[in-house]
Amino acid sequence: MKISIYGTGYVGLVTGACLAEAGHHVLCMDVDADKIARLNRGEIPIHEPGLEEIVERCVTARRLRFTTDFQAAVEHGLLQFIAVGTPSSDDGSADLKYVQAVATEIGMSLNRYAVVLTKSTVPVGTAETVRQRVSEALAQRGVQVEFDVASNPEFLKEGAAIEDFNKPDRIIVGTDSERVRKLMRECYAPFNRNHNKLMFMDVPSAELTKYAANGMLATKISFMNEIANIAERVGADVEAVRQGIGSDPRIGYHFIYPGCGYGGSCFPKDLRALGWFAQQVGYDAPLIRSVEVVNQRQKRTLFAKLDRALGGVAGRTIAIWGLSFKPNTDDMRDAPSRDLMAQLWEAGAKVQAYDPQAMRECEQLYGERDDLRLVASKEAALDGADALAICTEWQEFRALDVELLASHLVSRVIVDGRNLYDPTTMREAGFNYLCVGRPG
Task: Provide the mean pLDDT of the chain.
Answer: 96
Residue 266 is among the residues annotated as catalytic for this protein: yes
Instruction: Spot the catalytic one: 28, 266, 362, 435.
Output: 266
Q: Long-range CB contacts (< 8 A, 24+ apart) of 304-312?
A: 305/415, 305/434, 306/344, 306/387, 306/389, 306/413, 306/415, 307/347, 309/387, 309/411, 309/413, 309/415, 309/432, 309/434, 310/386, 310/387, 310/411, 310/413, 312/347
Identify the pLDDT of residue 194. Answer: 81
Task: Return the pLDDT at 198.
Answer: 97
**Residue 357 confidence (pLDDT) above 70:** yes
In terms of Cα–Cα distance, which of 81, 122, 98 is closest to 270?
A: 122
Q: pLDDT tens digits for 228-237? A: 999 999 999 9
Amino acid (one-letter) located at 260: C
pLDDT at res. 221: 97
Euclidean distance between the first and the last CA atom of the chain, given in angstroms as a whole number:
59
Q: Are 391 and 336 in contact (CB under 8 A)?
A: yes
- Over 80: is that where the pLDDT of 397 sits? yes
Mean pLDDT, residues 281-300 = 96
Q: Identify the band that residue 265 occupies on the pLDDT scale cut at 50, 70 and 90.
A: confident
Q: Report the predicted TM-score, pTM, of the whole model to 2 decimal places.
A: 0.93
Residues 6+ apart with CB under 8 A from 163: none
211-230 pLDDT tens trace: 999 999 999 999 999 999 99
Work out the average pLDDT over 150-165: 96
CB 5 within 8 A of CB 16: yes
Residue 440 has pLDDT above 70, yes or no: no
CA distance linking residue 293 with residue 117, whole number of Å: 33
Show the beta-strand stretches assigned E in 202-262.
none
The pLDDT of residue 47 is above 80: yes
